[in-house]
Amino acid sequence: MKLTHLDEKDRPKMVDVSDKIESFRVAVASGTITMSQIAFDMIISQQTKKGPVLQTAVIAAIMGTKKTSDLIPMCHPLMLTSVNCDVEELPKLPGFKLTVTAKLKGQTGVEMEALTGVSIGLLTIYDMSKAIDKSMVLNDIRLESKSGGKSGNYTRTSA
């Protein structure tokens, strides 16, 4: 299989998508952050000194999704039509799960955007809570599903 981000002289290039047909595309990515019980409780009760951690993480996830092409060199700038970020409390870890859904009608997929959004959202939780717990761990950042485009649909089958 030939790498599409290399030209005939093995130099990096952005893939030319100008001949691709536009289609409706959706990508869903998720990831978790684990932390101490104290950090979890302070975030839930909004007692952290830096403000509302989860609300800020949602905004950061949306911003990260929108800025993906500024962060990942070969990603195309995209006209996203929707970005949604859900936060799930996981008291048994303790920690949180972020899920980002990105949508567009376009010529290239939104998997990298969803994955970047999750990463930035989780990093924001870490940043806003590191004074309480520096041992937090970001885990399992992964694509859950994608639809649309030439490669078709994908849904993660394992947990």
Residues in the annotated binding site for substrate = 74-76, 112-113
Question: In whole angstroms, what is the distance from residue 39 CA to residue 53 CA?
Answer: 11
Question: Residue 38 corresponds to which amino acid?
Answer: I
Q: Where is the binding site, in residues?
A: 74-76, 112-113
Residue 127 is among the residues annotated as catalytic for this protein: yes
Concatenate the DSSP letters of all residues of 95-129 into one string: EEEEEEEEEEEESS--HHHHHHHHHHHHHHHHHHH
Q: Which of 10, 41, 127, 140 is catalytic?
A: 127
Per the rule left: phi > 0, alpha: psi between -120 and 50, beta: everything else, 132 is: alpha
Dihedral of CA atoms 66, 71, 75, 78 in degrees, nearest 10, equals 20
List residues with catalytic annotation. 127
